[in-house]
Amino acid sequence: MDAILLQILNGLDKGSAYALIALGLTLIFGTLGVVNFAHGALFMIGAFCSVTLQRILTLSVETIDETKKDFLGNPLKVKTPYVEQWFGPETGQAIIDWSVPLAILFAIPVMLLIGFIMERGLIKHFYKRPHADQILVTFGLAIVLQEVVKYFYGANPIPTPAPQAFVGSFDFAPLLGLDTSLAYPYWRLVYFGFSTLIIAAVFAFLQFTTFGMVVRAGMADRETVGLLGIDIDRRFTIMFGIAAAVAGLAGVMYAPINSPNYHMGMDFLVLSFVVVVVGGMGSLPGAVLAGFLLGILESLASMNEIKSIIYGIDQIIIYVVAIVILLVRPRGLMGRRGVMEE
Amino acid sequence: MSILEVKNVGKRFGGLQALSDVNLSVAENSVHAIIGPNGAGKSTLLNCLVGKLIPDTGSVMFDGQSVLGRKPYEINQMGISRVFQTPEIFGDLTVMENMLIPCLAKRDGAFQLNGWSRVVGQRDMIDKAEEMLRDMNMIDKRHMPAASMSRGDKRRLEIAMCLAQDPRLLLLDEPTAGMARADTNNTIDLLKQIKDERDITIAIIEHDMHVVFSLAERITVLAQGTPLVEDTPDRIKGHPKVREAYLGESQDAA
Amino acid sequence: MFGLEKRDTLLLGVVVVLTLFAPFILNPFPADSGLAQFNAGYPDLMQRFVIFGIFAIGFNILFGLTGYLSFGHAAFLGVGSYSAVWMFKLLSYNVVPALVLAVIMAGLFSALIGFISLRRSGIYFSILTLAFAQMSFNLAYSVLTPITNGETGLQIYTSDPQYLQSVDAPSFPNLFGAAMNSSTTLFFGGWTFTFSVGYYFCAIFLILAFYLAIRIFRSPFGMMLRAVKSNQQRMNYTGLNTRPYTLAAFVISGMYAGLAGGLLAAMDPLAGAERMQWTASGEVVLMTILGGAGTLIGPVLGAGFIKYFENIFAKINDNVLHGWFAFMPDGIEDAMVAIIHPFVGKGWHLTLGLLFMLVVIFLPGGLVEGGQRLGRVFRRKDKNAGSVEADAAQRRSEAAE
């Protein structure tokens, strides 16, 4: 029982990532009618925003420390990060320590900018092209982005630690009145909380702002909104930027959970597509629901008890479930009639 | 002898009762028009006949067989062809290929894995298609991509494609919608010619009264999802209920 | 001839001549010249040209004709490879049973995946095939380790039964004794030409595959497949059931992929999961659109183009680059090398991605269309240039307008 609870908790963070990426995919698909194969790359770039900020913050100046000598008696060269020089060692250390949460502030403008450039420079020209072309061009873009990151950061995963304060685990056992321990890393809790916040923010934005209202109307019926004479182009660009930022933020905070590597975007993308399809193409709540559901399911399937029955089931469970759901409910869990019917 | 029998058909979309208790009988080899104001349920009814929608209640019999629950291609193979409001043709294919496809569908059925035989070897089909094109005065366009033709030509091609299947019932969904007067008259002439030359039943949904009264032998007036009256064109013209339905519409619109 | 129109016979003739004389055509530079690095006439690379040509021809029957964009065809290639290697392990190194099983298994597998994926069209279909491909990769990589030997990959061990292997038969995939890796070399002046059994074996399959593709393209069945791409609604209302047409196209292209996978294993008796990865599926998509989707010769050109440059680019390192730009002043030379460096050697994928985008953006009709545009420019000089495929591209460009 505890093991199951733990796995459900473990599934939450991966599920959060799926949900956030799927949310962005659905927003873009619903408003712009484009399937963005480069969306996983945006998640990856977000994670590398964390890496980059950490590198910037640890940029160091080399000084000669007269107080320390090596074994020959020469003064030692010591590297001090600029931030420590500027803000003093303690504050400086704290800033470096908190580089991942700080990267959120760094990533938002970066991701928005990347989103704007992508939409204005490329996606815009593909609204009227066949879906196959949209898929192909964004697929090409995904490869390019991934290779560029690989060129600058190398092929190996780059460990990006969370702040010291969040190292360690929270024990759920006493809380639930269990005897055994139910340790859950703090950072994963943070990630879950953060994701929930973002999801809530996106929904609130769509629900309570005029802009959001237009977007929702657009998702329901794209042609009608075009007739309203609303400046759709500009809104599309902003929408794309927001979706990019959501994916990027999901990536920023994911960096400590899984050391960023250049192909993480592709890995998540395929599963996020499955999430979108299971949730129901064009349904935002569906994307979130399916994201968490499949994340938890994957986590449960990776329990040793289950893996001992069917070896490797955790690798394919999501696909199997997706196929079953599509056979039973071809429109997905919350898909509406008329979306992608023809 | 009626070829199409619609009995007590009802269809509901959420809170909207699109069709209720529709009864309709189309006599063989007649031209039957279904008219009615916007939102009367004409298109819904048509979609129920061709298998795009399945009515909630009632029955649709074609030549003594129920069409309900059958897929559009099965209903077509039974002998019902449909012409769409905006011409649905194979735009990427040539005019000749557009004509060949229905000919082959008529001969080979819904699916044929004939990847080894050659299109150019289907002499009889090609002859048939060419004859149809000649009848339509389109033979000189046979190598053109269908999408590059004028709208009037597309309409004629679509009708020709439907006729190539020798259907027993031809359904037309506002065939002259959005057409210039000259094209409309051409289409009327074409349909008249078809009616005279073939053993075919035509059911037509139309907004344009000029088209309806030049063609129809019987008219059913649909309003708010229910048939109001069914009669000959002459008697429909002066019918008070029909005037009311149409006047009502114009008042709503104003 | 062969039941083909004149221009199709011409096209087939061109392909036959190109494949049969490839060892000469692809080795235009003497072996000891500086340009020898651009030669492609060695067996390993030539085999890849034709094998991926077969793969792309098959993919084109699905994508080019019906417009259904599958992102999962590498899975069928992988199934073909695994099946072939299993035949080598169980029966003998004879390639005939291996290829037969490869095609049959890929056909069955694609029928299963196609049956489910084709319930949806458009984007949905692409995503479903993508998911299936990734699932197949995971199955091969870990779940089905007893069958696929997991990450090590399936290979042949001396302990394998090989029940039908006779003592005097070569211990390498062979066609009734003719080993796939045997070859003769012809020296002619400074040139060397290698004729490999394996290459010619594959080349014959390419010619057959191409011939079959022409037959399908020109058949009523092929016309129906193009009708699927053009207007499914009209098809349904013309009494045609689109599902079996698309499924048949899917299975045929899956069997082509299986044949390609079987041939890969016959040239080198190994099978690994990486062959099934969705990036591999992306590659065949690129080959097809680069050459020209929906045209006959396009996929073959695309496959050759990609495989050639993949091979050449991988060989280019900084030393080679410095050699190229040696005539320039030092500073400019270094700058040029620095600019080109990310795109060559290990950077091939970056070039591939860029190529992908550029083709989709600027040349959706692929090389064939590009050739036609050029042909139109030089029309006065050569009226027939590119006219072989003219009508297909003509239709496409007019439909696009």
Q: Which of B164, B192, B224 is the last residue of a domain?
A: B164
Q: What is the mean pLDDT of chain A?
A: 84
A contact residues 61-80, partner C, Cβ 8 Å cutoff: none
- Which residue of A lies nearest to C231 if distances are taken between CA atoms? A342
For C6-276, CATH gives 1.10.3470
- pLDDT bin (cut points 50, 70, 90) of residue C145 is confident
- pLDDT bin (cut points 50, 70, 90) of residue C128 is confident
The predicted pLDDT at position B251 comes to 44
Q: Which of A135, A266, A323 sits opposite C116 (nearest CB)?
A: A323
- pLDDT bin (cut points 50, 70, 90) of residue A226 is low
The predicted pLDDT at position A340 comes to 45
Least confident of A31-35, C70-74, C269-273: A31-35
Query: Residue B246 burial by CB count (10 A; 0-12/13-18/19+): exposed, middle or buried?
Result: middle
- pLDDT bin (cut points 50, 70, 90) of residue A60 is confident
- Which residue of C lies nearest to B91 if distances are taken between CA atoms? C230
Domain assignment present for residue B12? The answer is yes
- Best B46, B52, B90, B166 member to test C by mutation, with max C CBs in 10 Å, is B90
User: What is the distance between the alpha carbons of residues A173 and A179, in angstroms, rounded to a whole number?
Assistant: 7
B113 and B215 together in one domain = no
CB contact under 8 A, C252 and B115: yes
- Best A135, A145, A321, A325 member to test C by mutation, with max C CBs in 10 Å, is A135
B142 and B68 together in one domain = no
Domain assignment present for residue B143? The answer is yes
- pLDDT bin (cut points 50, 70, 90) of residue A223 is low
The predicted pLDDT at position A337 comes to 60
Residue C67's closest CA among C218, C210, C249? C249
CB contact C319 to B (< 8 Å) = no
Give the number of beta-carbon pairs within 8 Å between A and C: 127
Q: For residues B215 and B191, is the Cβ–Cβ distance under 8 A?
A: yes
Q: Of A129-143, B143-157, B173-187, C208-222, which one has max mean pLDDT?
A: C208-222
Q: Which of B113, B131, B164 is the last residue of a domain?
A: B164
Q: What is the mean pLDDT of chain B?
A: 89
Query: Residue C384 burial by CB count (10 A; 0-12/13-18/19+): exposed, middle or buried?
Result: exposed
Residue C79's closest CA among C155, C117, C118, C136? C136
User: What is the distance between the alpha carbons of residues A339 and C390, in angstroms, rounded to a whole number?
Assistant: 37
Q: Tokens 């033979």 map to which residue?
A: B139
Chain C residues closer than 8 Å to A118 by CB = none
- Which residue of C lies nearest to B89 if distances are taken between CA atoms? C234
Domain segments of chain C: what residues?
6-276
- The strand pairing partners of C187, in sequence order, are C192
Q: B151-163 and B123-135 helices cross at what angle (nearest 10)?
A: 130
For the record, the structure tokens of A130 come out as 């066949």
Chains A and C touch (3+ CB pairs under 8 A): yes
The predicted pLDDT at position A222 comes to 63
Q: Which of C245, C248, C399 sits opposite B92 (nearest CB)?
A: C399
Chain B residues closer than 8 Å to C9 by CB = none
Q: How many domains does chain B have?
A: 2
Q: Which of C221, C227, C244 sits opposite B115 (nearest CB)?
A: C221
- Averaged pLDDT, C131-154: 88
The predicted pLDDT at position A229 comes to 60
Chain C residues closer than 8 Å to A146 by CB = 353
- Give the Cβ contact number of residue B120 at 10 Å: 12
Q: Cα torsion for B236, B242, B247, B249, to the nearest 10°?
A: -120
- Averaged pLDDT, B246-253: 51
CB contact under 8 A, A316 and C354: no
User: What is the distance between the alpha carbons of residues B233 and C80, in angstroms, rounded to a whole number?
Assistant: 68
C contact residues 235-264, partner B, Cβ 8 Å cutoff: 235-242, 244-245, 248, 252
- pLDDT bin (cut points 50, 70, 90) of residue C11 is very high
B157 and B217 together in one domain = no
The residue among B202 and A176 whose pLDDT is bigger is B202
To the nearest whole angstrom, how far is the Cα of C261 from the nearest Cα of chain A?
A: 23
CB contact under 8 A, B100 and C3: no
User: What is the distance between the alpha carbons of residues B164 and B128, in angstroms, rounded to a whole number?
Assistant: 8
Q: What is the mean pLDDT of chain C?
A: 87
> B168-203 b/e with 16+ CB inside 10 Å = b?
bbbbbbbbbbebeeebbebbbebbeebbeeeebbbb
The range of the structural domain enclosing residue B117 comes to 89-164
To the nearest whole angstrom, how far is the Cα of B230 from the nearest Cα of chain C?
A: 28
User: What is the distance between the alpha carbons of residues A155 and C401, in angstroms, rounded to a whole number?
Assistant: 44
- Give the Cβ contact number of residue A91 at 10 Å: 12
Query: Residue A288 burial by CB count (10 A; 0-12/13-18/19+): exposed, middle or buried?
Result: buried
- Averaged pLDDT, B202-215: 88
- The strand pairing partners of B83, in sequence order, are B172
Full set of structural domains in chain A with CATH: 2-328 (1.10.3470)
User: What is the distance between the alpha carbons of residues A94 and A87, in angstroms, rounded to a whole number?
Assistant: 10
CB contact under 8 A, C239 and B110: yes
C contact residues 328-387, partner A, Cβ 8 Å cutoff: 342, 347, 349-350, 352-357, 360-361, 364
Check pLDDT > 70 for residue C327.
Answer: yes
- The strand pairing partners of B94, in sequence order, are B145
The predicted pLDDT at position B90 comes to 96
Q: Which of A151, A277, A312 sits opposite C127 (nearest CB)?
A: A277
- Give the Cβ contact number of residue A52 at 10 Å: 18
Residue A66, classed as helix, strand or coil, is strand
The predicted pLDDT at position C316 comes to 80
- pLDDT bin (cut points 50, 70, 90) of residue C386 is very low
The predicted pLDDT at position A61 comes to 80
Domain assignment present for residue B84? The answer is no
Chain A residues closer than 8 Å to C353 by CB = 140-144, 146-147
CB contact under 8 A, B105 and C239: yes
- Which residue of C lies nearest to B95 if distances are taken between CA atoms? C395
Chain B residues closer than 8 Å to C227 by CB = 90, 93, 97, 101
User: What is the distance between the alpha carbons of residues A144 and C355, in angstroms, rounded to a whole number?
Assistant: 10
The residue among B103 and A305 whose pLDDT is bigger is B103
Per-position DSSP letters for A204-262, written without gaps between them: HHHHHSHHHHHHHHHHH-HHHHHHTT--HHHHHHHHHHHHHHHHHHHHHHHTTTS---T
User: What is the distance between the alpha carbons of residues C146 and C153, in angstroms, rounded to a whole number?
Assistant: 11
Check pLDDT > 90 for residue A214.
Answer: no
- pLDDT bin (cut points 50, 70, 90) of residue C100 is very high
The predicted pLDDT at position B248 comes to 58
The predicted pLDDT at position A44 comes to 95
- Averaged pLDDT, C273-294: 90
- Which residue of C lies nearest to A317 if distances are taken between CA atoms? C135
Digit-coded pLDDT (tens) for B55-88: 999 999 999 999 998 999 999 999 999 999 889 9
Q: C278-291 and C122-138 helices cross at what angle (nearest 10)?
A: 130
Go through chain B and tell me how many residues it has. 254
The predicted pLDDT at position A160 comes to 86
To the nearest whole angstrom, how far is the Cα of A139 from the nearest Cα of chain C?
A: 8
- pLDDT bin (cut points 50, 70, 90) of residue A227 is low
Digit-coded pLDDT (tens) for C34-58: 777 788 888 889 999 999 999 999 9
**% of residues, chain C, pLDDT over 70:** 94
Chain C residues closer than 8 Å to B170 by CB = none
- Averaged pLDDT, B181-206: 90
ipTM: 0.91
B150 and B215 together in one domain = no
Q: Which of B164, B182, B209 is the last residue of a domain?
A: B164
Neighbours of chain B (3+ CB pairs under 8 A): C
The predicted pLDDT at position A228 comes to 61
The CATH number that applies at residue B22 is 3.40.50.300
Phi, psi of C243 (to 5 degrees): -55, -55
CB contact A306 to C (< 8 Å) = no
Check pLDDT > 90 for residue C106.
Answer: yes
CB contact under 8 A, C222 and B118: no
- Going by the DSSP 8-state scheme, the letter that residue C94 receives in this structure is B
- The strand pairing partners of B221, in sequence order, are B35, B229
B29: left (phi over 0), alpha (psi -120 to 50) or beta: left
- Give the Cβ contact number of residue A2 at 10 Å: 14
B contact residues 135-194, partner C, Cβ 8 Å cutoff: 145, 147-148, 161, 165
For the record, the structure tokens of A335 come out as 């898909």
For the record, the structure tokens of C303 come out as 């496959």
